[in-house]
A = this chain, B = another copy of it.
Amino acid sequence: MSVAIENFVKAIYKNDIQDNNDTKPGNIAKKLGISNAAATDMAKKLATKDLLHYEKYQALQLTEKGTKMALNVVRKHRLWEALLFKMFDMSLHEIHREAELLEHETSDFLANKISEYLGNPKFDPHGDPIPNADGEITTEDISIALSQSKEGKTYIISRLMSDDKEFFDFCAQNGLKYGNTITITKQFSKNKMTQISINNNTILLNEDFTNIIYVNEI
């Protein structure tokens, strides 16, 4: 299947599990940087290939086959991220940028080699789960968005769910890193802001960030 198709089913998959908006052509188009018309066209085409269900004006739904394809691409993406992160001195944003391309040009054979080399990791450097060779995610996600965290409690950062350079730069500068410990010093429920303490520094985060930083209770 083509790069365009792989990116399309992946975008649907990610929209379904991450974003809280309908998985309609327009939202996929926005993600991929293409026109709504192009997204509708593609959706129709993929329906004939049994990769998704398409009904006019309704949300797109991946078939089992489509889901499998998406997970296979996601697997390769995250394995590349894990490999590049481990081997080279590259930032979370940089590994993502490269993985976005490499994911489409990687045989299952090579993906398995990478996985094996890394000890079949369950998570990538962003904290995202890596599907196994059968396209299954075996880990259960016990993390919550920082926006849902409780005042006074202490958490471990488990996931930085973004692909935005500015966000990652901010995180790197402030010690917001996979595995690090933070304490919630205050939840401003009205303005939807969260004050945290990390490495003896106090940081105030707004909703944009607390919705994409995930943590585990300890």
Contact = CB atoms under 8 A, between A and B. Distances in A.
Nearest to A104: B105
Of the four ranges (under 10, 10 to 19, 20 to 34, 35 or more), the interface on chain A belongs to 10 to 19
A88 B113 contact: yes
A88 B117 contact: yes
A98 B117 contact: no
Contacts of A105: 101-102, 104-105
How many monomers of this protein are in the complex? 2
Which of A106, A109, A110 has the most chain B CB atoms closer than 10 A to its own CB?
A110
A107 B110 CA distance: 19
A169 B180 CA distance: 49
A128 interface: no
Nearest to A112: B88
A94 interface: yes
Nearest to A107: B98
A90 B109 CA distance: 10
A87 interface: yes
Minimum-distance CB pairs A-B, first 9: A101-B105, A88-B113, A105-B105, A98-B110, A102-B105, A87-B117, A88-B117, A98-B107, A102-B102
Interface of A: 84, 87-90, 94, 97-98, 101-102, 104-107, 109-110, 113-114, 117
Given A98-B106, A102-B105, A102-B106, 17 more contacts: A84-B110, A84-B113, A87-B117, A88-B110, A88-B113, A88-B114, A88-B117, A89-B113, A90-B113, A94-B109, A97-B107, A98-B107, A98-B110, A101-B105, A101-B106, A102-B102, A105-B105
